[in-house]
Structure 1
């Protein structure tokens, strides 16, 4: 159910971020910060740590997917309607290395009925593209993402 209070859409997105983050041990455990939110958009950051490296001394793709998926989750829940992923794909285009500060920016491409499509781009601290992610969402009508 959409937020029907006197909050602006931006205030709703910020409230969802605050409450989702407080209840999101996976994101906090990975050291991901949700730095910006707006209706249908989110930006998150993460520093690549030693335990995130694979056998080639680059960031494991699963951590890159988790970063992009986090931006996607905060973007598609920003309306305070409980929304889950129905699928995603990710293209890894360059390696990320220990110490890199990665930023994933997600934005809504389409939202119609209960389904949505969101793109997330991951870049490093030099602005170099690391990965592209496309998420598909499904909204569960009548349930808020976070309680009042």
Structure 2
């Protein structure tokens, strides 16, 4: 028997959001991403840089690094089971990702007020070297859950 939504803890809600979103997240799955942790307002996502992710300079395409960060941002801001979308983001690339690197994006809530939020994300490689920083702005759709009980 399932637990009614009102009786779930914030962590249980975040876990269910992660499961439901990932089951339908074709982009993240197609890029080999793994959502390794979701807590209320936070998420961690990893991705191994594959040969087909390299640009003409043999480094990870910056758009794919942004996609990794955007994915962590999405799981963090939806973790409350309120359908939330990006209203914009910026990303600063600081070092290249190379083939075989395991990139980790850690997103966390900076501010959440009303329907808007701000989330920051650090992207590092397996040596804990900073690859990029990301800031996302979110907008919550009133009355729309990510999942229903």
Structure 1 length-normalised TM: 0.97
Regions of 4+ moved over 3 Å: none
What is the match of residue 67 of structure 1?
68
Unaligned runs of 5+ in 2: none
The alignment status of 1:87 with 2:79, answered yes or no, reads: no
TM-align CA RMSD: 0.9
Q: Secondary structure at the match of 1:59?
A: coil
Task: Please give the alpha-carbon distance, in whole angstroms, between the structure 1 residues aligned to 2:148 and 2:48.
Answer: 31
How far has the Cα of 1:146 moved from its partner?
A: 1.9
The alignment status of 1:52 with 2:60, answered yes or no, reads: no
Q: Secondary structure at the match of 2:100?
A: coil
How far has the Cα of 1:147 moved from its partner?
A: 2.7
Unaligned runs of 5+ in 1: none
What is the match of residue 28 of structure 1?
29
> How many equivalent residue pairs?
146
Q: Secondary structure at the match of 1:90?
A: strand
Q: Deviations over 1:87-137 (max 9, x none)?
A: 000000000000000000000000000000000110000000000000000
What is the match of residue 134 of structure 1?
135
